[in-house]
Amino acid sequence: MSVTVLVGSQWGDEGKGKMIDYLAPDMDLVVRFQGGDNAGHTVINDNGVFKLHLIPSGVFEEDCISLIGTGTVVNPSVLLEEIQSIEDAGVSTDNLKISSRAQILMPFHQELDALMEEQGGIGTTKRGIGICYAFKDLRKNLRFEDLLDEEELVKKIKEFLPVINSFLRVYEAPELDEDEVIKICLDWRDKLKDRIVNQHELIHDYIKKDKNILFEGQLAAMKDIDLGIYPYVTSSNPIAAYAAVSGGFPAKDIDEVIGVAKAFSSAVGAGPFPTESDDEQFNIIRGDGQNPDDEFGARTGRSRRLGWFDAPIVKYTNEINGYDALALCKLDKLDELDKIKICTGYTLDGKELSTIPTTSELERVEPIYEEMPGWLESTTKIRSIEDLPQKAQDYIRRIEELTDTKIKYVGVGPSRDEMAT
């Protein structure tokens, strides 16, 4: 039996989609376990170039089940569009399933997200994620199981709408009409009912049968609602333990945790980002958005904030997740840099810190940098870590030392096969 959990180790967009796609051929089940269509997971393989938002990045493997898990918030209209776009590219979605306990993200969640952001937000993706999780906690959401029982569905809609409308009134947004909501839900039911499954039964059956299960995290620990840079975070727990929490199986059954890091740092949205740099070299790395691996948000198209590799951050998220292996993506993007900086620690008001401080203190820290020489040669054709230029190997080893991790995968290009191991 093998249960693997793959999570982001920095601020999101580390290359999780590529890694899941790379690992998927050995998997029987891939489960997206939190988040919603705020995700943009880029997959580039023989089928084409894809930016996946809700559909697990294992969907390209015909024999593998792709499950949108219990911990997610799912906008059915976005999902239906995504299914269509994948099928238009000639990829079957027959094995795409949705947990009956996944939350349904409604249009008004998205509307409220946008309205709140207008009042001075944190730079969300405006996909309604935070609002949907808030209404989940208020116990005023529908779940996919509700679509399968029309009587129960109508009862819940009648129960929830007065509360929801009272929120909409505060924001002077149009109130919801009961019949209209029922109609939309029944349409979603007709289109999605055959994909709704009992996740508990499926996961435990697969665990008993010694099948390979891969849990796909969205975003990263620095954007975790509890452990990240609150309030500049998402509204779920993008950490390894949450795969077990939402998966409904014992945490001790996780066999391997893989963290994914970029060889530098990037972030979208507001909040502290200690190693953010306006060095001209990052504009070259960012590109102009023409290439699928240019540094623009896969969901929102926003230009990503870029900076040097921040070892204290990855060390902190390793303490949270316990990486058995680290995948270091986008090493090739540093191929042309003659000098590369690594942040090895921070000072705050002149004193060196030994841990990650509060969010407002993190805004004020001064990074301590170490400079390493660049390797100044192309790595894109290299498939073994041992064959990488010595200076690239030195960079990798230094990151391992500083973060207490073992780097087992090195991304040297955006496609599935561009990987050194």
Residues 193, 147 contacting (CB under 8 angstroms): yes
| Geometric angle at alpha carbon 218, from 295 and 383, rounded to 5° | 60
Q: Does residue 416 touch ligand GDP according to CB under 6 A? A: no
Dump strand ranges (E) for 168-230: 196-197, 212-220
- Which does residue 411 touch among ligand GDP, ligand IMO, Mg ion, none (CB within 5 to 8 A, set by kind)? ligand GDP
Q: What is the smallest separation between the CB atom of 28 and ligand GDP, expressed in angstroms? A: 21
Among all chains, which residue has been given the structure tokens 């690239």? Answer: 392
From the list 166, 172, 107, 94, the residue with the least C-alpha distance to 142 is: 107
Among the listed residues 41, 113, 310, 332, the single catalytic one is: 41
Q: Does residue 6 touch ligand GDP according to CB under 6 A? A: no
Q: Which helix (H) or strand (E) holds 74?
A: strand 73-74
Q: How far is CA 358 from CA 60, 73, 226, 231, 417, in A?
A: 41, 28, 12, 11, 40
Residue 204 falls in the annotated catalytic set: no
Q: How far is CA 279 from CA 8, 13, 64, 340, in A?
A: 25, 20, 43, 11
Given 41, 136, 305, 341, the residue binding ligand IMO (CB under 6 A): 41
* Structure token pair of residue 382: 């290299």
Q: Does residue 128 touch ligand GDP according to CB under 6 A? A: no
Task: Please count the CA atoms within 13 angstroms of the CA of 402 that sit on its side-chain side.
Answer: 19
Residue 210 falls in the annotated catalytic set: no
Given 12, 56, 411, 414, the residue binding ligand IMO (CB under 6 A): 12
Q: Does residue 130 touch ligand IMO according to CB under 6 A? A: yes
- Which does residue 30 touch among ligand GDP, ligand IMO, Mg ion, none (CB within 5 to 8 A, set by kind)? none
Number of residues that bind ligand IMO (CB under 6 A): 23
Q: What is the smallest separation between the CB atom of 297 and ligand GDP, expressed in angstroms? A: 7
Q: Which residues contact 375 (CB under 8 A, 6 or more apart)?
A: 334, 335, 388, 389, 390, 391, 392, 395
CA quadruple 318, 323, 325, 328: dihedral sign: negative
Dump strand ranges (E) for 301-382: 305-307, 309-310, 325-329, 339-348, 351-352, 366-373
Among all chains, which residue has been given the structure tokens 């008001």? Answer: 349
Stretch that binds ligand IMO, among 39-47, 146-154, 307-315, 379-387 (CB under 6 A): 39-47
Stretch that binds ligand IMO, among 79-87, 228-236, 282-290, 325-333 (CB under 6 A): 228-236
Given 54, 161, 298, 337, the residue binding ligand IMO (CB under 6 A): 298
Binding mask 234-273 for ligand GDP (x = CB under 6 A): ----------------------------------------
Stretch that binds ligand IMO, among 24-32, 231-239, 310-318, 376-384 (CB under 6 A): 231-239
**Where on the chain is the footprint of ligand IMO (CB under 6 A)?**
8, 12-13, 38-41, 122-125, 127, 129-130, 218-219, 223, 232, 234-235, 268-269, 298
Annotated catalytic sites, by residue? 13, 41
**Where on the chain is the footprint of ligand GDP (CB under 6 A)?**
8, 12-18, 40-42, 44, 292-293, 298, 329-330, 332-333, 411-414
